[in-house]
Structure formats: C-alpha cells, structure tokens
Homo-oligomer: A and B are copies of this chain.
Amino acid sequence: MLSFASDYIEGAHPAILQRLIDTNFEKLSGYGDDRYTESAKEKIKAACGCPGADVWFLVGGTQTNQVIISSLLEANEGVVAADTGHVSLHEAGAIEVTGHKVMNVPGHEGKIWASDLKKMLETYYGDDFHEHMVAPGMVYLSHPTEYGTLYTKAELTAIRDVCRAYDMPLFLDGARLGYGLMTPGTDVTLPDIAELCDVFYIGGTKVGALCGEAVVFTKNNTPKHFLARIKQRGALMAKGRVLGVQFDTLFTDGLYFEIAKHAIDMSVILRGVFREKGYSFSINSPTNQIFVILDDAKAAELSENVVLNFWERLDASRCVYRFATSWATRKEDIDALAELL
C-alpha cells in the first residue's frame, strides 16, 4: 500500500538510529543530565541565534503543550487559541485537565488574527466584572498550523505586539516547524521565532525523530522548578539521552533543515501532480500537508492501493483527504500515486 497519511508513518532518520547505536553503551546519567542533551541544547541555541535561551526536551506534542501551558498560566487564566487549534480540539482535554480554559478566537485557515485577539482582550478588560471571568493569560498558535498554513513575519509581529501590550506570553507550537521554515516564500526564520515568541518548540516526532520536542524559552523566562513540573506531569524521561542524542543528531550539520527541505520538495512535486491531474484543494497550504478534494468514487477506487487520511466531508459527493510528505517520502511513491490518479 502507498501511504501519504501523515508525516509520522515511518520511524526515524537513519542517522539518528545509527547515533543511538554508537552511543548505546556509554554510561550516562538519567533525566537529561548527560553530554548529548547538553550538546543538543547548545546547537539549538546557536541555530536560534539566541545564546541566552533555555532548552528542554519532552517526548510528544500534546505533552509539551500541557506542560508549557499549565506552567505559564496563573490559576485564574486561560490560554487563547484558534478554535481549530490542536489544544482546542485534538488533545482530549489535556489543557482543561490541568485546570485551565482554552479560550477560542476564530481560526482563519488555522491562523489567529491579532485583531481578534485585541478585541477579546478589550472586551475582557472593559468588563467591570472581569474578575468573574477567566483571564486571557497567554496565546497559543501553531506554525505551520493544523491546516498547513504559515504566518508571515508581519502577522506574528502584530500578535506579539498585542501580547506585549497585555503582558501575555506568546507560545508557538512548532510540531512541524522544520517544514514551515523550509517552505519557499516564507519570511519567517528560526531566529525570528526565537525573537518574537516567549516560548516555542521545535518538533522532532514529525520531522525525523522517533519522538521528541525541543522546548525553547527565549526570554530568561523558564517557569520556576520546571524540572519538577515536568516530572509531575509524568513527562520526564529516565533515559533523557534518547532525546538528547536525537536532537544532537538533527542539529548537527543542518540535518533537521535538510530533511525538512526534502519533505517540502516532495510536497511541491506532489501538489503539482494533483494540480496537473485536475484535482483541487480545499485550502491553499504551502507546507507539507496537502488537502485534496476527491469525489467519492475516486476515493473508493484509490483506497484499494493507497492509505487515505479522511479530513472532512465537503458535500454529498466529495470529501477532503490529507496527503502529507515527510523527511522519508520517496519520489517513486509519488510517481506510483500519479499513476493511480
């Protein structure tokens, strides 16, 4: 079966597996107190152009969102997110279980607008009884978004400016950050993100690692006792080396960017194939996720040879399916798919 179902259907980049083997019998301390974790942190700080950053490694995306958001919010605060955001919809209540509300603003192709955010804040602070309401305490956005779209630097800056005006941290979920950074036409770089955001993470799980997300606090703003908070959420890996070795490999000689670029190159080809064959897209996503409209007959036919990832029904006879490329996508698989379209 062919599959473009997601960007996490394969294991890890071979260089990572080799590195795990090479370092396997070194006796190292647990919980991230090892030389590879240390080295990975240094390389990430350099890549971010942010020598003062504080870097931590966690296992997965929902866990990372939970740990960061619950650590940054005061008890009476909620996190502002797009109504289509991952924390709003697809984390089974991982934010609420920590006692905090996810406060929705409209998602515009997955993105939040500074103007909506500003309006929410003005409404809140304009209400004499706002202490009877949850206070907007931080902003969550994903880049790329769940719809594969990207913010421009101007859009991010506008959101950051609102955050700063209201003294709220800005948090960027970069589960697919590598793909976003390598997309042609984007004007947002990793150092830009480090400068604009208070905290963000660089996704490993979806960009070549077995697991792992690198959290970056950029403003000397790590929550107090952050290690204890990670431990308390069950998120502290005993063999922290597993994360350290992976990120050290990804950030050696630009591997992370190189494999992300491969995924984007493949997505350009795949998008071209669909376009050429006369298919249209439900959303104009420039990154590694392609949202293709298929009529039901074609979908049924394709599904005999291709694993299809259903996204949503469009109308009585057509649905949207997601096709994702990744660091592991092979050109010959795209060719094989083209034959079937």
Hey, which bits of chain A sit against chain B, CB under 8 A?
A: 1, 3, 5-6, 8-12, 14, 17, 20-21, 23-30, 59-67, 70-71, 74-76, 78, 89-94, 96-102, 128-129, 131-135, 205-206, 210-211, 224-225, 227-229, 231-239, 241-242, 307, 310, 328
Contacts and interface: CB of A to CB of B under 8 A. Distances in A.
Contacts of A20: 11-12, 17, 20, 210
A244 to B, nearest CB: 11
A10 B232 CA distance: 24
Given A96-B100, A99-B97, A231 B8 contact: no
A85 to B, nearest CB: 13
A26 B5 CA distance: 13
A206 B239 CA distance: 9
Contacts of A134: 92-93, 96
24 contacts: A10-B27, A10-B28, A11-B20, A11-B241, A14-B24, A60-B237, A62-B231, A64-B234, A66-B234, A74-B224, A76-B93, A76-B229, A90-B132, A90-B133, A92-B228, A93-B134, A96-B96, A96-B100, A96-B101, A96-B134, A131-B225, A205-B239, A211-B239, A234-B234
A241 B102 CA distance: 31
Contacts of A60: 234, 236-238
User: Which of the listed residues A17, A21, A27, A28 has the most CB atoms from chain B within 10 Å of its own CB?
Assistant: A27
B234 A76 contact: no
B11 A63 contact: no
A237 B237 CA distance: 13
A159 to B, nearest CB: 23
Nearest to A328: B25
Contacts of A128: 310
User: Which of the listed residues A24, A102, A238 has the most CB atoms from chain B within 10 Å of its own CB?
Assistant: A238
Given A97-B75, A236-B62, A231 B11 contact: no
B99 A102 contact: no
